[in-house]
Every structure is written in C-alpha cells, then in structure tokens.
C-alpha cells in the first residue's frame, strides 16, 4: 500500500490554475522528487500535502488516513522548507525540540536524547545553546533538518531546502537528507527546480508543468524515454535537440529528413511508423548521440560551430544550421580541435533518436 498518495488535486489561486488534476503515490522508503520550472505548482502541491493550503478538489492520504481536511499539526509530517521556518527567539535546542515538546507525548529525557543525537549527526552539537539568529544560513538549515529528524513522522516533505546554500553545503546536506530518509524508511517528497539535485536524490522523479504531471519515473527513464516534448526539452543539460522532421519510407525502413540530412531510423521503428502513417514528426536527438561524420555523408547535419564549451570530462559544442542551433556533447578529446566558425558535419547514433507526434507532442514508441 502506498504510504502517501494524492488523488486528483486541483487548486486555483486567484484566476490561475496552479494544480490541475494531480495524482501520484509514494511508497514507504521512496524518495520522490517533484521537479519543474518556476511556477509549475510544486510548492502549492506540497503546501496542500502539509495542510497549509486546502485543495479545491482531490484528496491527500497519508498511510491509511485521508488527511485532506485535517489541520497541519494533526498530519504528523516532518517538513523542511527553503525559508527555514525557525523560531528566532529560541536557541538551537529549543527549535529542534519544539515539535516533540508541543505534542506533549514524548518524555523530556527522550526529547533530550533525540535532539542530541540529531545535533551530533548534523555537527550542531556545539551550537545547541546558540541563539538561532547567530547561525549562518547553512547552520540554520541544518537545524531545520534536525527538527524534522527528531520526529517520527509518517512522511517527510522538503521544499527547495538547499537553494539558499552554497554548492559545497548543498552537497553535504543532500547526503544528510538522504541519510535521514533512509533511516526513517518513510515516504519523502522533495520539491526542486534543479534537475541535478532531482536526479542525484530521487528514486522517482515527477516532472510537472502548468500544474500537471508530465511524466513520473526513475531519473534514467526520463532521460532515456521522455514521454513528451516538454520532458525531452526540460531534462538533460543540455536537453535533447528537438527539430521538425519529415518521415519517408525507403526499402521497408524509415528515414527522418531534417536539417538537410537523411537520418536512418533503426528497423525496430518500422512497424510503429507504418501504423502511424503521418509524415510530419518532431525529432529528438540526444546531445550525446552525435558522432563526427565525414564529407559527403548523407546522414550528416552540416553547420557552423557557434560555441565550444569545455566541461569536466566532456565538451558541449553548439552547431548553427540554417534554422536551428544544435547541442552536442562529446567526451573530452572526441570533439577534436574545433573552434567557432569551423564547419562541422555530425551524424547521429540511431539509438539516440526519439520521435514525437507533431501535434499532441507525445512520444511515439518503437
Ligand atoms: N494568490 C495567487 N494568485 C494568483 N496566482 C498565484 C497566487 N499564488 C501563486 N500563484 C501562482 O501559482 C503558480 C504556482 O505557484 P507555486 O509556488 O506552486 O509554483 P512553484 O512550482 O513552486 O514555483 P517556484 O519554483 O518558483 O517556487 C505560480 O505561477 C504562481 O505565480
């Protein structure tokens, strides 16, 4: 049985439909990430799960309890937010202990034991009596994490908890959050617009746009098999190249014509495309699927190198053609000696091609 479930959530904010028929389930021990661009409804969804916002329609289920109309404090959730949400008048101990003290069910020495254990884990042991206002942003966020850690919550919710922190601290706190999650073995829902974070942390990632789920799956599935044009253009850095193309059948297999090139599709596509019948498609080319091609190769896209960006272990090359700018990732060294202005011919490894219906923008599946 899933331990956290939202069913058909709808939320209108002013005249904006912030959450539009959203459903997903998170199992015990699963780290579930809500990923999407700014304004897609991630925070609103989390606020509904927490009980800080009432949905216009739909249900929130935690364990075997429908909690939709319960106040936040009765939902037994651990929450960590971007704006730490700490009490400035209290010290570190007071903030971490507050939730347990307020519920009044945990003996004082047990609270003390839990707070000290969490503080030690988070390197806050020496700061327990410090006023919150004396702490750095990273320390405050660790206190907020510690406050969630001392609770035995039924589910844990995180809303962009790391976005105010520098990269080194972010990396460390990611590990702390995952350690907390693994220890508690409860469902966790983590909101972020940072796909590196989403992919590094999530067992399952839900991509949201305009308040709707676009795709739910493990990170590698979103990259390998994006369900639609939005996901294809959103995940990956750089994301998949998306081009309009015309399909043509030749000798029983298919070729996609785009950018003055004839790109052969693997034979596995043939039955699907025969049934599909349409000519016009959107072609997706993974940036890591490009290969250098030789002169006269019909299956090569030709363009001018616009930009060469060396990264750690790989190089991103941008190629300008008559009507598109394409991104290619080469393992460091494979790009050769390219400089902006050079003419470059690139072929595509056929397994790196994806096709989407031109109108519905949904993926076609071979
Ligand atoms: N009171 C309001 N009236 C109208 N629209 C609102 C109101 N509050 C929020 N919105 C809009 O609802 C949408 C969803 O907001 P939400 O904060 O859930 O998005 P988000 O995905 O978490 O974005 P971010 O990553 O920027 O925090 C946004 O477009 C926001 O501008």
CA 18 – ligand 1 centroid, Å: 6
Asked if the ipTM is above 0.90, the reply is: yes
Among 39, 43, 54, 198, name the best residue to mutate to test ligand 1's pocket (greatest count of ligand atoms within 8 A of Cβ): 39
Taking CA atoms only, the protein residue closest to ligand 1 atom 16 is 41
Per-residue pLDDT at 2? 59
Residue 256: pLDDT over 60: yes
The CA distance from 18 to 86, in Å, is 27
The CA distance from 324 to 168, in Å, is 36
71: part of which helix (H) or strand (E)?
A: none
Per-residue pLDDT at 303? 95
pLDDT in tens, 73-115: 899 999 998 877 899 999 999 999 998 888 778 899 999 999 9
Atom of ligand 1 nearest to the CA of 211: 14
Q: What's the number of CA atoms in the CB half-sphere (13 Å) around residue 356?
A: 24
- The neighbour count for residue 119, using CB atoms within 10 Å, is 22
Atom of ligand 1 nearest to the CA of 43: 22
Share of the chain above pLDDT 90, in %: 77
Average pLDDT of span 262-291: 94
Atom of ligand 1 nearest to the CA of 40: 21
- Predicted TM-score (pTM) of this structure: 0.91
The two tokens of residue 256 are 């996609």
- Tell me the residue ranges of DSSP E strands in 16-81: 16-26, 31-35, 57-62, 65-66, 77-81
Residues with CB under 6 A from ligand 1: 13-14, 16, 18, 36, 38-44, 193
The CA distance from 225 to 89, in Å, is 50
**Mean model confidence pLDDT for the chain:** 93
pLDDT band at 15 (very low <50, low <70, confident <90, very high): very high
DSSP secondary-structure letter at 89?
Answer: T
Per-residue pLDDT at 105? 82
Taking CA atoms only, the protein residue closest to ligand 1 atom 30 is 39
User: What is the sign, positive or negative, of the torsion defined by CA atoms of 179, 182, 183, 187?
Assistant: positive
Query: For 13-27, 32-46, 135-149, 196-210, which range has the lowest pLDDT when averaged over its residues?
Result: 135-149
Across the chain, how many H-helices and E-strands are there? 9, 20
Per-residue pLDDT at 168? 85
Strand pairing report for 77-81 and 155-159: parallel
Query: For 214-218, 331-335, 359-363, which range has the lowest pLDDT when averaged over its residues?
Result: 331-335
Per-residue pLDDT at 50? 94
Per-residue pLDDT at 170? 87
The two tokens of residue 343 are 């003419």
Atom of ligand 1 nearest to the CA of 193: 25
pLDDT in tens, 221-246: 999 999 999 999 999 989 999 999 99
Among 6, 11, 16, name the best residue to mutate to test ligand 1's pocket (greatest count of ligand atoms within 8 A of Cβ): 16
pLDDT band at 173 (very low <50, low <70, confident <90, very high): confident
The CA distance from 191 to 185, in Å, is 18
Per-residue pLDDT at 315? 93
Per-residue pLDDT at 13? 96
Average pLDDT of span 28-47: 96
pLDDT in tens, 116-140: 999 998 889 999 999 999 998 888 9
Residue in the block written with tokens 């003055």: 260
Atom of ligand 1 nearest to the CA of 47: 18
Rg of the Cα atoms in the chain: 25
Per-residue pLDDT at 95? 94
Among 9, 36, 42, name the best residue to mutate to test ligand 1's pocket (greatest count of ligand atoms within 8 A of Cβ): 42
The CA distance from 268 to 277, in Å, is 16
pLDDT band at 165 (very low <50, low <70, confident <90, very high): confident
Average pLDDT of span 170-177: 89
Residue 1: pLDDT over 60: no
């Amino acid at each position: 049985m899933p331990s956290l479930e939202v069913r058909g959530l709808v939320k209108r904010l002013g005249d904006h439909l912030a959450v539009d028929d959203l459903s997903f389930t998170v199992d015990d021990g699963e780290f579930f990430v809500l990923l999407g661009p700014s304004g897609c409804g991630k925070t609103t969804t989390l606020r509904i799960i927490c009980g800080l916002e009432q949905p216009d329609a739909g249900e929130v289920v935690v364990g075997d309890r429908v909690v939709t109309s319960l106040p936040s404090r009765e939902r037994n959730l651990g929450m960590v937010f971007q704006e730490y949400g700490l009490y400035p008048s209290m010290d570190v101990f007071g903030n971490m202990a507050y939730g347990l003290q307020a519920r009044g069910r945990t003996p004082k020495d047990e609270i003390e034991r839990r707070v000290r254990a969490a503080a030690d884990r988070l390197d806050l042991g020496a700061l327990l009596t410090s006023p919150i206002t004396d702490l750095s942003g990273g320390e405050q966020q660790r206190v907020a994490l510690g406050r969630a850690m001392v609770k035995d919550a039924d589910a844990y919710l995180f809303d962009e908890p790391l976005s105010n922190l520098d990269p080194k601290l972010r990396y460390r706190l990611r590990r702390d959050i995952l350690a907390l999650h693994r220890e508690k073995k409860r469902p966790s829902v983590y909101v972020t617009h940072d796909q590196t974070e989403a992919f590094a942390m999530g067992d399952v990632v839900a991509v949201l746009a305009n308040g709707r789920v676009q795709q739910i799956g493990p990170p590698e599935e979103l990259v390998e098999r994006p369900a639609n044009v939005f996901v294809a253009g959103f995940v990956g850095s750089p994301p998949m190249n998306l081009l309009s193309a015309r399909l043509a059948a030749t000798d029983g297999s298919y070729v996609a014509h785009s950018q003055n090139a004839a790109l052969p599709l693997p034979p596995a596509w043939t039955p699907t495309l025969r049934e599909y019948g349409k000519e016009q498609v959107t072609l997706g080319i993974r940036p890591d699927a490009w290969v250098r091609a030789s002169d006269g190769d019909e299956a090569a896209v030709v363009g001018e190198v616009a930009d060469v960006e060396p990264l750690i272990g790989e190089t991103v090359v941008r190629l300008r053609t008559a009507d598109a700018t394409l991104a290619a990732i080469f393992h460091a060294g494979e790009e050769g000696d390219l400089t902006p202005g050079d003419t470059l011919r690139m072929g595509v490894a056929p397994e790196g091609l994806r096709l989407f219906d031109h109108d519905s923008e949904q993926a076609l599946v071979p």
